[in-house]
A = this chain, B = another copy of it.
């Protein structure tokens, strides 16, 4: 079965990104497909590569990047939500006249249409938020 997943809250502050991670891992291990995870609201903050969690804590961004690489999950960050919150890729940084970008490997910035498309093309949609 195809699952779409929405993450609506930022890393560490809320458990949403952790819960979603364990859920997606289990879903894939059980033979389901998770073609896309959509990051919305503060969820876009999961995508920063500048995060430096304490050594004895999990690295939420790295976990997602690794999962995406291993299983081909499309990690989409909402562009409008990301702009408000200061999550940029190189293209966006250039376009907005900013001197740095901060998006991590495996994440890509795109529009809200990708969320609707995910809702249309998957069999189930699961939201992790606040």
Instruction: Say yes or no: B98 contacts A100, CB within 8 Å.
Output: no
- Which of A25-33, A45-53, A113-121 interfaces with chain B? A45-53
Q: How many copies does the complex hold?
A: 2
A87 contacts the other chain (CB 8 A): yes
Name the interface size band of chain A. Answer: 20 to 34
A interface SS class: loop
A69 contacts the other chain (CB 8 A): no
A50 with B11, Cβ < 8 A, contacts A42-B42, A45-B85, A45-B86 known: no
List residues of A whose CB falls within 8 A of some B CB. 10-13, 41-42, 45, 48-54, 57, 61, 80, 83-88, 92-93, 96, 98, 100-102
